[in-house]
Amino acid sequence: MTAVAWDWANFAIRWLHVITAIAWIGESFYFIALDLGLRRPPGLPQGVNGEAWQVHGGGFYHLQKYNVAPAAMPEELHWFKWESYWTWISGFALLCVLYYADPELYLIDRHVLDLPGWGATAIGIGVLILGWIIYDGLCRSPLARDERALSVAVFVFLVALAYGLTFVFSGRGVFIHVGAVIGTMMTGSVAMVIIPNQRKVVAALKAGETPDPRLGREAKTRSTHNNYLTLPVLFLMLSNHYPLAFSSRWNFVIIGLVIVIGVAIRHFFNTMHAHGLKPWWTWGVATSAFVLAAWLSTFPDTRRDVAEAGPVPARLAAALARPNFGEVRDIVIGRCSLCHSQEPVREGLAAPPKGVRLDTDEEIAAHAREIYLQAGIGRAMPPGNITEITGEERAKFAAWAMAGEHER
Residues whose CB falls within 8 Å of the CB of residue 15, separated by 6 or more in sequence, listed in order:
none
Q: Write down the least CB distance from residue 338 to ligand HEC, Å.
A: 5
Indicate the residue whose CB is closest to ligand HEC.
336
Euclidean distance between CA atoms 197 and 220, whole angstroms: 10
Based on CB atoms, which residue is closest to ligand HEC, 146 or 330?
A: 330
Based on CB atoms, which residue is closest to ligand HEC, 329 or 335?
A: 335
Based on CB atoms, which residue is closest to ligand HEC, 182 or 381?
A: 381
Q: Write down the least CB distance from residue 349 to ligand HEC, Å.
A: 7
Based on CB atoms, which residue is closest to ligand HEC, 215 or 236?
A: 236
Supply the Cα-derived Rg of the chain in whole angstroms. 25
Q: Write down the least CB distance from residue 243 to ligand HEC, Å.
A: 9
- The answer to whether 10 touches 96, Cβ cutoff 8 Å, is no
Q: Write down the least CB distance from residue 337 to ligand HEC, Å.
A: 8
Q: Write down the least CB distance from residue 381 to ligand HEC, Å.
A: 3
- The answer to whether 338 touches 384, Cβ cutoff 8 Å, is no
Based on CB atoms, which residue is closest to ligand HEC, 222 or 335?
A: 335
Based on CB atoms, which residue is closest to ligand HEC, 237 or 259?
A: 237
User: Computed from CA positions of residues 89, 237, 256, 300, in that sequence, does the dihedral angle turn out positive or negative?
Assistant: positive
Euclidean distance between CA atoms 117 and 115, whole angstroms: 6
> What DSSP string runs through 149-186?
HHHHHHHHHHHHHHHHHTTTS-HHHHHHHHHHHHHHHH
Give per-residue burial for 4-23: e unless 16+ CB within 10 Å, then b: eebbeeeeebbebbeebbeb
Q: Write down the least CB distance from residue 10 to ligand HEC, Å.
A: 10
Chain residues in the site for ligand HEC (CB under 6 A)? 335-336, 338-340, 346, 353-354, 356, 367, 370-371, 374-375, 381-383, 386-387, 389
